[in-house]
């Protein structure tokens, strides 16, 4: 018994990820934390998408279910769980059953290497970014099998189009990622790294987000990845394979109830995963703004107050909305619920002002804030851009992004090795 | 714990997954089922590569094999409607000869492994644990380094081979050349 | 477990290169059986992928063995395995292209109906 407690507490002194320290107990705890956090994030994302999209379209969105529709995602989840499970008549039952799990597996396994902080990752693989790209490409298999197993025209065409699109944009994503990896080797020893934590530490050591490195190469690489990641996750404006007006929901037409919710969960998790890749590679991961330019204990203190301030701001929004609720007896419960939610947020904000919570949360907070920015971009794209036709989509993927990515790769390599190339020229001229 | 149970447990689990996946590949009537079984076997193999301290090969296996080649297989299986094929005979006429040949080969393997491993100890896992932080760099050294690398020519030939394969596949699958 | 000798349990529990080689041999045999007995071309191609994977497993297992003798940078087996994977991708692509071309002509995917040159 004593040895188990010691096993568990011995990790707290180490400064490694649980995978590196070989600690199964803490690795399991981190896995559960990531799983729970991801589920909560998907639920929030559902609500946020409907509200933000609605406000962009000058309407209100869900307002009935809870105060300002806050309980809508829970109601949706309950409905999906209680719906009848329909399998098409001639469909292959085994494959029909397995397909959503493959997609969810691919979307969730990616989070094993996502770095929420310098030691806050489940594990830090040597090949972190390679693993993430590889496992997220396994989702294509799930989509293809889902479309085929439905034994119906629309899902099959939707699945083939969706997987063709995902495979094409994976190439562009890979090229953009490689040019970002090459920037990690611009240090003194000339050694780069593929590990996610190493990439962020390379940005810390080089005093520069890779977004701004070798201007404009960093920005173009980020732009290629940002476009490719939207296409990779089948989101607007690249959502032809699953848009309702085109293919009646594409590859998940025949899926209803719990299986559909698995696809939905996997899609949002994949969105968060590729946003994590973008944040880690180009936007400094868990680093607070200006970790080197504005360093020192006072600036650290100032920036570590941000998590608490954010939650207090959200609580203030809740209280403001409570004040604006209709003063009618039928709205009493909703008003109290909203006020209670505001109080909970304010309490969390106040807890986050306390010293030990501040130091533990700040890396996770900055990472989550950047990923949340990307989620807002996703919703913004959905509300703004018209849909690409499928041939236009493939043309953009192969004829625009791929040559740009290749040119970017070569240019990044040349700029990164400019001193060696110059010395080779000088040697040759001599 | 004195006996290394964790390594053995994971090895046997992954080995069982691979063998069952392999058996399902060669026995299923439905080609999509075979493809899914093969994907499982390939992913288990990637995990075995991780156990062998080869993380880069594991990553390449997941990206290329499971995420690329198997997608290609599934596409082709779906584009070729082979429901008619599922009702036909699955095993050809010389299946017995095939199994006898494989059994002979298996006997050869068993002879080789039992005769040469007596007295010569193929090394035991767990006695040597090289940190995996240098694996990608060392593979890159072998491939690209000017002084220590010896696989640069093979690398270029492999890229040429891929180009030829791309052109060949496109030409073979086109309707009108 | 009085009937299992200590030596047998030791060999079973300490995973050595031999275990990987035996696993590779088993997969190789499964692939060979698949190639020799199945009629469906796609499944024959998938059995070929099984064979190549067995070979890769052997290569990587031996590369680990070499590391114990020649130092940590003797990763020749792993580099060879990467080349084999590249090869397998190229061959799968061309093989499936040939399959599509053949299917367009003969409407069948059975290997033993490819007998136009049989006399």
B166 token code pair: 């791309």
Percent of chain C with pLDDT over 70: 97
Which CATH code, of 1.20.120.1200, 2.60.120.680, 3.40.50.2300, 1.10.3720.10, is assigned to B1-85?
A: 1.20.120.1200
Cross-strand pairs, B124: C16
Alpha-carbon Rg for chain A in angstroms = 24
In a domain, C82, yes or no: yes
Q: How close is the nearest chain A Cα to the Cα of B118, in Å?
A: 34
Neighbours of A396 (CB within 10 A): 19
What band does C101 get if pLDDT is binned at 50, 70 and 90? confident
Q: Do C39 and B89 touch (CB under 8 A)?
A: yes
Q: Do B92 and C38 touch (CB under 8 A)?
A: yes
Three-class secondary structure of residue B13 per DSSP: helix
| C114 touches B: beta carbon within 8 Å | no
At residue B125, the pLDDT reads: 56
In a domain, C1, yes or no: no
Q: Looking at the predicted structure, is the pLDDT value of residue C71 above 90? A: no
Which DSSP helix (H) or strand (E) runs through B20?
helix B5-27
Q: Which of A17, A136, A138 to mutate to test the interface with B (most CBs of B within 10 A)?
A: A138
Residue C72 burial by CB count (10 A; 0-12/13-18/19+): exposed, middle or buried?
Answer: middle
Distance CA(B30)–CA(B33), nearest Å, equals: 5
Which residues of chain B make contact with A167, given a CB cutoff of 8 A? 68, 71
Which residues of chain A make contact with B139, given a CB cutoff of 8 A? none
The dihedral through the CA atoms of C15, C18, C21, C22 has a sign that is: negative
Q: Do A144 and B75 touch (CB under 8 A)?
A: yes
Three-class secondary structure of residue C38 per DSSP: strand
3-state helix, strand, coil in chain C (%, to 5): 80, 5, 20
At residue C3, the pLDDT reads: 59
Neighbours of A315 (CB within 10 A): 20
Using CB atoms, pick whichever of B28, B35, B139 lies closest to residue C79: B139
Q: Do B74 and A148 touch (CB under 8 A)?
A: yes
Q: How close is the nearest chain B Cα to the Cα of A160, in Å?
A: 8
Q: How close is the nearest chain A Cα to the Cα of B91, in Å?
A: 22
At residue C6, the pLDDT reads: 77
Give the number of domains in chain C. Answer: 1
Q: Which of A134, A155, A199 to mutate to test the interface with B (most CBs of B within 10 A)?
A: A134
The CATH number covering residue C78 comes to: 1.10.287.3510
Distance CA(A232)–CA(A170), nearest Å, equals: 7
Q: Do B58 and A135 touch (CB under 8 A)?
A: no
Preceding omega of A237 cis (within 30 degrees of 0): yes
Reduced 3-state DSSP string for A280-308: HHHCCCCCCCCCCCCCCHHHHHHHHCHHH
Q: pLDDT 10s per residue in chain A (430 long)?
A: 777 777 777 777 677 777 777 777 888 888 999 999 999 999 999 999 999 999 999 999 898 888 888 999 999 989 988 888 888 887 778 888 888 999 999 999 999 999 998 888 888 888 889 999 999 999 999 988 888 888 777 788 888 888 889 999 999 999 999 999 998 888 777 778 888 998 999 999 888 889 998 889 999 999 999 999 999 998 878 887 777 555 566 777 777 788 888 988 999 999 999 999 999 999 988 998 888 888 888 888 888 888 999 999 999 999 999 998 888 888 888 899 999 999 999 999 998 888 777 888 888 999 999 999 999 999 999 999 998 888 899 999 999 999 999 999 999 999 988 888 888 888 887 7
Number of H helices, E strands in chain B: 8, 0
Distance CA(A300)–CA(A305), nearest Å, equals: 9
In a domain, C13, yes or no: yes
Q: Which residues of chain B have pLDDT under 50?
A: 1
Backbone dihedral angles phi then psi of residue A155, each to the nearest 5 degrees: -60, -40
* Residue extents of the structural domains in chain B: 1-85, 134-177
C 50-69: CB under 8 A from B: 50, 53, 56-57, 60-61, 63-65, 67-68
Three-class secondary structure of residue C18 per DSSP: helix
Q: Do A137 and B75 touch (CB under 8 A)?
A: no
pTM for this model (two decimals) = 0.90
Three-class secondary structure of residue A58 per DSSP: coil
Q: Which of B39, B64, B78, B129 to mutate to test the interface with A (most CBs of A within 10 A)?
A: B78
Using CB atoms, pick whichever of A95, A167, A170 lies closest to residue B36: A95
**Contact between residue A121 and residue A114 where contact means Cβ atoms under 8 Å apart:** yes
Q: How close is the nearest chain B Cα to the Cα of A228, in Å?
A: 17
- Domain residue limits at C30: 6-111
Three-class secondary structure of residue A126 per DSSP: coil
Q: Looking at chain C, which residue has its C-alpha nearest residue B148?
A: C73
Q: Which residue has the tokens 């989702």?
A: A139
């Amino acid at each position: 018994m004593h040895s188990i407690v010691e096993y568990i507490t011995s990790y707290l002194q180490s400064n490694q990820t649980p995978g590196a320290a070989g600690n199964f107990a803490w690795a399991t705890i981190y896995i559960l934390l990531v799983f729970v956090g991801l589920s909560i994030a998907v639920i929030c994302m559902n609500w946020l998408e409907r509200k933000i999209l609605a406000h962009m379209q000058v309407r209100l969105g869900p307002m009935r279910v809870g105060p300002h529709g806050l309980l809508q995602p829970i109601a949706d989840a309950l409905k999906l769980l209680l719906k009848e499970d329909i399998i098409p008549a001639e469909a292959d039952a085994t494959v029909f059953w397995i397909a959503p799990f493959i997609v969810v597996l691919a979307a969730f396994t990616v989070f094993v290497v996502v770095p929420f902080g310098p030691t806050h990752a489940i594990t830090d693989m040597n090949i972190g970014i390679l693993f993430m790209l590889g496992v997220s490409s396994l989702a294509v298999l799930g989509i293809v099998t889902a479309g085929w197993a439905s034994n119906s025209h629309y899902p099959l065409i939707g699945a083939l189009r969706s997987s063709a699109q995902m495979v094409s944009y994976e190439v562009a994503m890979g090229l953009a990622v490689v040019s970002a990896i090459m920037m990690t080797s611009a240090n003194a020893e000339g050694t780069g790294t593929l590990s996610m934590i190493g990439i962020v530490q390379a940005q810390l050591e080089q005093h520069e987000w890779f977004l701004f490195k070798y201007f404009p190469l960093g920005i173009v690489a980020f732009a290629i990845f940002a476009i490719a990641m939207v296409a990779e996750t089948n989101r607007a404006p690249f959502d032809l394979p699953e848009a309702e007006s085109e293919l009646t929901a594409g590859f998940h037409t025949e899926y209803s109830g719990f299986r559909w919710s698995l696809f939905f969960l996997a899609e949002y998790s994949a969105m968060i995963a590729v946003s994590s890749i973008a944040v880690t590679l180009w936007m400094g991961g868990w680093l607070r703004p200006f970790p080197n330019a504005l360093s020192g204990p006072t600036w650290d203190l100032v920036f570590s107050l941000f998590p608490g301030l954010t939650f207090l701001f959200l609580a203030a929004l809740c209280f403001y909305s409570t004040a604006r609720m209709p003063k009618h007896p039928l709205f009493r419960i909703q008003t109290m619920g909203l006020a209670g939610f505001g109080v909970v947020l304010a309490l969390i904000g106040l807890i986050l002002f306390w010293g030990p919570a501040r130091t533990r949360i700040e890396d996770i907070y900055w990472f989550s804030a950047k990923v949340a920015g990307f989620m807002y971009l996703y919703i913004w794209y959905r509300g703004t851009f018209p849909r690409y036709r499928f041939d236009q989509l493939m043309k953009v993927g192969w004829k625009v992004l791929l040559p740009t990515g290749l040119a970017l790769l070569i240019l990044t390599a040349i700029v990164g090795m400019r001193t060696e190339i110059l010395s080779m020229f000088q040697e040759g001229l001599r | 714990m004195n006996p290394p149970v964790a390594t053995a447990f994971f090895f046997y689990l992954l080995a069982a997954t691979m063998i069952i996946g392999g058996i399902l590949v060669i026995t299923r009537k439905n080609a999509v089922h075979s493809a899914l079984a093969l994907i499982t076997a390939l992913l288990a193999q990637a995990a075995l590569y991780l156990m062998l301290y080869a993380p880069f090969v594991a990553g390449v296996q997941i990206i290329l094999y499971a995420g690329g080649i198997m997608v290609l297989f599934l596409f082709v299986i779906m584009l070729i409607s082979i429901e008619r094929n599922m009702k036909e005979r699955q095993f050809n006429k010389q299946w017995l000869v095939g199994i006898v040949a494989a059994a002979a080969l298996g006997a050869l393997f068993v002879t080789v492994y039992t005769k040469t491993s007596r007295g010569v100890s193929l090394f035991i896992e767990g006695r040597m644990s090289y940190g995996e932080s240098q694996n990608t760099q060392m593979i890159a050294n072998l491939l690209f380094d000017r002084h220590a690398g010896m696989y640069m020519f093979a690398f270029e030939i492999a890229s040429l081979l891929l180009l030829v394969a791309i052109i060949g596949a496109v030409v073979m699958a086109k309707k009108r050349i | 477990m009085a009937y299992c000798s200590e030596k047998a349990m030791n060999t079973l529990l300490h995973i050595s290169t031999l275990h990987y080689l035996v696993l590779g041999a088993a997969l190789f045999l499964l692939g060979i059986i698949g190639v020799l007995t199945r009629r469906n071309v796609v499944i024959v191609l998938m059995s070929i992928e099984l064979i190549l994977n067995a070979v890769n497993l052997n290569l990587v297992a031996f590369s680990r063995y070499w590391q114990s003798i020649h130092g940590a940078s003797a990763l020749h087996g792993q580099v060879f395995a990467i080349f084999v994977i590249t090869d397998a991708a190229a061959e799968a692509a061309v093989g499936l292209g040939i399959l599509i071309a053949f299917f367009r002509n003969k409407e069948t995917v059975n290997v033993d109906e490819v007998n136009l040159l049989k006399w």
